[in-house]
Every structure is written in structure tokens, then in C-alpha cells.
Structure 1
Amino acid sequence: MSDQYSGKGRLSTSKEDEISFVDLAKILILRWKIMAVVFSLFMVMALGYIAMMPRQYEYVTIYHLAEQAALSSDHGGSVALESPKSVESKLKNLYFAPATRGLLESTNLESLPFRIHFSNPADTKLLVINSEAAEQFADHVETLHQDLIERVMENQQELIEQRRAVLESQLESTERGLEAVKEANSEYTSQLMASYSSRILELQAQLGQLKEGMVEKVAARGLNPVGMSRSLLLALSIAFGLLFAVLSAFMMQFVLAVKKSLAEG
């Protein structure tokens, strides 16, 4: 009998400890003031952050690399005077550090307030520099991009002048060879003249296909802000505000229940 009563007592106690959805709803209704206060405070802080959050924009610089005539095995056309990957590597390993130091010294900044990324779109002779920065740092982005592009252009100009000098030297040498063949009387004169003439035309074509690099745009700002939008941040703030408000109501109920239990004990 005692075991039966004991079992009934445990069953009664467990039922008393259970909380129904109605009880949860009652807690939320009773603690609506604390919920309103917590939600309001959370939203005030969230709105303040959103209002002060600077808008981030993408800034893009595009440079078209210098070109030279392609080899016959490349089916004609033109190719970059220096491979895009090589130019990209120079940007990262040679030009970026000194350009960054110069910007930091001139602006008294301790570190760059934005990130920078270099890329070469597939199957193109384009070099692209990307940065995402707040509007207040737009001038800094333009200064750094301009410095980097000028370093690339200077190196590209040196390469194209070297290549032009080599081709012009070869052309002069070939033309002298053609003149020498014309003055010589040999059974192979006509063949040699045809060979030299063909080579002269080839060198002239290569000289004509040398093209200097060209800046397409420098630190051009995108039309729309990047990163998390303010509307999304507002929606997340409302969701988290409601969550913390509900949790605060249950926490308040728990604290009061503990105090009541201690007072009764």
C-alpha cells in the first residue's frame, strides 16, 4: 500500500512540475513589460549601429596589358607581351608593399582600411584590381590603385621598348643581309632574297602589332553598396530582439520562482 501511495505521490508531483503551452503563454502575458523593455533596448542599439554603419562599395581598376604578335603556332593574332600571371605576381610581391607604405606614410594610417585583390579574368589580357571600402576611404583606394597601375605601366613600357629595340635591330640586320644578297651573284640569290624578304615582312608585322598597355578605368565605384544590406540587418535585429525578449521573460519568471521557493523554505 505504501508503495502505491508513493507511486501516486510521484505521479502527482511530476504532473505539477509539467508546464503546458497555456502556462508559457501566461508567463509571456504577465511579463510583457520586461519583454517590451528588452526588445526596445535591443532595437535602439541595433538601429544605432545600422545608422552609423558605413556603406561599403566595390572599387575596380582594369588595365589592358601590352600586346605583341603571337607565334604561328598560336594561330595568329596577338598575345600579352608578358603573361598576365607574371604581372599579377609582380603586383603582389614587388609593387604592393612599397605602394602601401607610401600611402600609409602620406595619410598617417597604421594599416589599410580596406582589402585589395588582384585577378586576371580567364582568356583575357586584362589585369583587374578590386577593393571594398567605405565611402570615406574612396580617395585612399584611388591613390593606391593609381600607384600600382603606374608601376605596372612603367614596367610594361620598359618591356615594350626592349622588344621594339630587338625587332628593329633584327629588321636592320635582315635588310642589310638582303642588300648583300642582291649584290652577290649566286645561283641561290633568288631563294635567299625571297627568304630575307619574307623575314622582313614578318618583322615589320611584329613591330606593327606591338601595342602599349592601356588603362580602362581606375578605382571606378560600383553603383550599389556591397556587403550585408541594411534591410537584412534590420530584419535580423527584429528576430533577435524578439528572441531575447522572450528569453528575458522566462528568465524573470525563473528568478521569481526561485525567490519564492527560498522564501517558503
Structure 2
Amino acid sequence: MNNVPEQRPYYDDEISLVDLAATFIRRRRVFYVVFLVTTLVGLAYALLMPGKYEYVSLYQMAEVESGKTVVAPATTIATLQNRWFPEVQATHREMEEEKLPFEINFSNPENTGLIRMASEASQENATLVEETHKKLINQVKERQQSLLTRDKKSLENRIEAIDRAVESLQGGEDTGSAIADAYEKRVDLEGKLEGLNPGETLAVSRESAERTGTSRSLVVVLAAVLGGMLGVFLAFVAEFVMLVREQLGEGTDK
């Protein structure tokens, strides 16, 4: 039995790399046109798209003592996200009949009592961003001031109650230790009263030094890549359409 090497069958409809290269060369003008048009469109979009900047506002929350805020930052952020900011959005939509053109990201930097508000917007919307941030900061400030006033009033009432108790104890027998305890509690309450610090606005809609979002150069590069891929695809589509027309023409002649 002879060991004859098996030959791979040849099919007329097989396409080789040479055929692909020849097809692409024949239809290279299609590729050039598509590539050039797509790249120019991308360049025009990159030049005309509005540049966006990050606008940041910072608010230092009110404190009941050093390092302890009047309310947890997470609670304030939840209220901002689910109540106050949606209310501002609804008001803007009602008055301007359009959606607010930016979002606000709320966060609390780790180990701080800060509330950070950040928005990405074009410079033409900078004033609107500032107004919106101010509205939200004022709502936070008013809420925290009311809580601070409540705590202050409670401490003052407790101090007055201790003073009345001391007055009633004075002149009595064996009241020295009770008066001393009362004074000690009074000093502690006065320390807490002095530790109440109102909130403070540290920055309002501070604009970033550099643009944010997709850079113009990246848009042009992506447009060029897309133009290349689309150009190659349409070049082969053009060849396919030509072959179909030739087949239809031959069938008609017969």
C-alpha cells in the first residue's frame, strides 16, 4: 500500500488572502472616502463639543463637640439625594420646562465632617450650578442650625435647673457633696455648650483647573479608528454589490 500524501481538495469559491488584498486595492477609493469623512466628522465634533469642568462645593457640618457632628454625614447625604435635590430638579423642570442639565454627586470625605457636592457641567451652566449648590447648602445649613439651636436650648435649660437645685441646697445640712456634684455637672454642661459649633461653607461651585470628561484628542483617535474599520467593511460591501450586479447582468443576457 503506497503512502500517497493526502491532498486538500480545492474549491473554486475559496477566498485567499491574495483575493482579499486585491479586492481591497480595487475598492481603496471607497476606503479613503469613508475614512476621511468619518475622521473629519469626529474632528468637527471634537472642536464643537462644549468643554466640561468639575464644580465642587464644600460644607463643614455643625458640631456638638470636637469631631462629632450634630447629625451623621450619611444621614445628611441621604436627605440631599432623596429629598432636597429631587425637589430642586422638579422646581427647575416646572419653571424652565426642561431637565436640569447636570447631576450632583454627594460624598463625605473619610474621617471628616465635610459634605462634598460635585457637578460636571459646561461653563455656560456655571451660574446655574452655583445657584443650585447654594440652595442645597442653605437647606443643609438651616436644618443643622435648627438642630444646634435645639441642643443649645436643652443644655441651657439643664444648667438653669442645676442652678435652681444648688440654690435650694444652700444653707441645708450635709448638702456639701450634693452641691459639689451639681457644680461638676454644671461645668460639664457648660463645656458641651461651648463645644457647639455652627456649620460653615468652605467653597461654593469651585471650578476645576482642567477639563473633565472625554478629551478632544481621544474623540479624534476613536473617529479615525472607526473610519478605518468602516472603510474596510464598506470596501468589501462595494465589491460584493458589483459582483451581484454582474451576475444579474449575465443572467439577463442569457
TM-score (normalised: structure 1): 0.85
State whether structure 2 residue 167 is matched by structure 1 residue 179.
Answer: yes
CA distance in 2, matches of 1:39, 1:89: 49
Report which of the two has the higher share of helix: 1
Paired position in structure 2 for 1:17 = 13
- The answer to whether structure 1 residue 27 and structure 2 residue 13 are counterparts is no
Q: How many equivalent pairs are there?
A: 245
Residue 163 (structure 1) aligned with residue 155 (structure 2): no
1:1-265 matches, within 5 Å, as 11=9, 14=11, 16-69=12-65, 77-104=66-93, 108-184=96-172, 186-187=173-174, 189-265=175-251
SS in 2 for 1:233: helix
What are structure 1's unaligned runs of at least 5 residues?
1-10, 70-76
Name which structure has the greater RCO, CA cutoff 8 Å, separation 6+: 2
- Looking at structure 1, the residues matched to 112 and 179 of structure 2 have their Cα atoms a distance apart, in angstroms, of 39
Amino acid in the other structure paired with 2:56: V
> What percent identity do the matched residue pairs reach?
34
Segments of 5+ residues of structure 2 without an aligned counterpart are: 1-8
RMSD: 2.0
Partner of 1:6: none
TM-score when scaled to structure 2?
Answer: 0.88
Cα displacement string for residues 86-145 of structure 1 (whole angstroms, at most 9, x for unaligned residues)? 222322333223333444456x24111111222223332111222121222111111111
- Tell me the residue number matched to 1:8: none
Give the drift of 1:158: 1.4
Which has the larger displacement, 86-95 or 255-264?
Answer: 86-95
Deviates more, 1:116-125 or 1:128-137: 116-125
